Chains A and B, each alone.
Chain A
């Protein structure tokens, strides 16, 4: 069965970087891309970006470009999300998600809480 398992919670100081891992299994990694979505406490969902499992092509909204790096490791079928220059506004639960409507896929990781605090 398809599974996405994320790395554990992180506590970071303002200005630092965080890298969250998303280990996938149960499907052919290079056939699909991975989305990253975050949710600040008590707030809504925010799409952060998408990365192709085939060639590493990425898509992301303008507001995060410059701070966000999405990468993959095909050998371990793992996707990574790195966010730099963290502020308190980046405190959120970060999710990776395999969303492929054409194949009726919609699988999410369990979420990773990132807390930014001095």
Chain B
């Protein structure tokens, strides 16, 4: 089972840009090559903001973007807004998306 690492917390001021990293540390990095990012408010169901590394679902603000370099995926939130304050989880999954792992989560404070 792959392990993912994320920073516990990231903070920024309104209007700034922040990045959240997600690094796969297991030896089976080659199996989990895709990444998605979820936003979760307290008491709410997680919502995907990025999938397949850099794709943004319809309805998600274009202030959210994703990228990947090697075994590290990155979520960038530009033009930070108060409503972006939430927990963010990365998830890495196989090409078939039949198995996946979640990172420990990053609390974003605005």
Contacts and interface: CB of A to CB of B under 8 A. Distances in A.
Contacts, number: 62
| Interface SS of A by simple majority | strand
The number of chain A residues touching the other chain, given as a range, is 20 to 34
A61 interface: yes
A47 interface: yes
A44 B51 contact: no
Interface stretch (A8-16, A20-28, A75-83, A96-104): A96-104
B38 A101 contact: no
Given A35-B100, A45-B89, A101-B34, A111 B45 contact: yes
A99 B97 contact: yes
Interface of A: 33, 35, 37, 44-47, 50, 52, 59, 61-63, 95, 99-102, 104, 106, 108-111
A10 B24 CA distance: 35
A26 B72 CA distance: 35
Contacts of B38: 45
Contacts of B99: 47, 50, 59
A45 B48 contact: no
